[in-house]
Amino acid sequence: MAGQGRSPNGTWVVVGVLLAIGIIVPLLVGIYDKADPTLFGFPFYYWFQFALIPVVSILTYIAFKLSERATVADRERAGLRGKAEEQ
């Protein structure tokens, strides 16, 4: 699709941003490389990473659902069936 010379619509940009958050934030170790504040005796470094798991999972799920809708719209715009028919 991207090779056809057209720009991505806004939905695909949102999908990319949501996925980029889940990739880039864990790589920015400097923002969570500290011991305080602690939570149940765990330093911030550890519990922040554990907190990222459900957050990134939710962002990935939202990106997946948005990409499904965008794919249907792209297929319809190209003159194809929006969804594959169930057999």
- Is there a domain that residue 44 lies in? yes
Band (pLDDT 50/70/90 cuts) for residue 80 is confident
- Is there a domain that residue 26 lies in? no
Q: How many domains is the chain partitioned into structurally? A: 1
Band (pLDDT 50/70/90 cuts) for residue 84 is low
Band (pLDDT 50/70/90 cuts) for residue 66 is very high
Could you please report the per-residue DSSP string of 18-84?
A: HHHHHHHHHH-GGGT---PSPBTTB-HHHHHHHHHHHHHHHHHHHHHHHHHHHHHHHHHHTTS-SSP
Mean residue pLDDT of the chain comes to 86
53: domain range? 31-74
- pTM to 2 decimal places: 0.77
- Is there a domain that residue 64 lies in? yes
